[in-house]
Amino acid sequence: MICLMTSEKKHSCVNKMGKKKEKIEYELQPIVKKVLEEPFWPMTLETREVYSRLHDDHDGTFLGELNVTIGPDGDAWVYITGERPLTTLRFRSFSGGGQSLRVRNALLILAEAIRMDNEDKPIQKDRRNKNEEKNNECT
């Protein structure tokens, strides 16, 4: 089932064939916010374990994985492996041939968490750039 955001911040769902099933509308934001605001630990996760997923557009190379490791202190580490540094990975929606819909959903929640953190505690990039300029002037 595919759910699309409408202008009313509701979700309209359609089945795999792209036909509108019984129109279902619901508000997802409170659930996402609750997950993002409350500390939690999924009981199935282990520390120091690497959780990897191959992205959808590897074109038969089987290169390009998203990797997440949780350290013993609870910190999350995310890195990408692929054929070159800074490889981008694509996790498609179902209509785009997605093979990793749960990973895609988790990335949507990650993006919302980043948005919320940026809103609540913005990082002043301008100040960092000015400090770099000042350091360059001193040398």
Domain boundaries, the chain: 1-28, 42-90, 93-139
Could you tell me the end-to-end alpha-carbon distance of the chain, in angstroms, rounded to an integer?
59
Taking the model in full, what pTM does it have?
0.59
| Contact by Cβ (8 Å): 64, 53 | no
Between 110 and 87, where is the model more confident?
110
pLDDT band at residue 137 under the 50/70/90 scheme: low
User: 3-state class of 134 per DSSP?
Assistant: helix
Mean pLDDT over 28-46 rounds to 84
Q: Please, what is the average pLDDT of the chain?
A: 75
Given a cut of 60, whether residue 50 has pLDDT beyond it is yes
Count of CB atoms situated within 10 Å of the CB of 105: 13
Distances (CA, A) of 43 to 47, 53, 83, 90: 11, 20, 33, 28
pLDDT band at residue 16 under the 50/70/90 scheme: low
Given a cut of 60, whether residue 12 has pLDDT beyond it is no
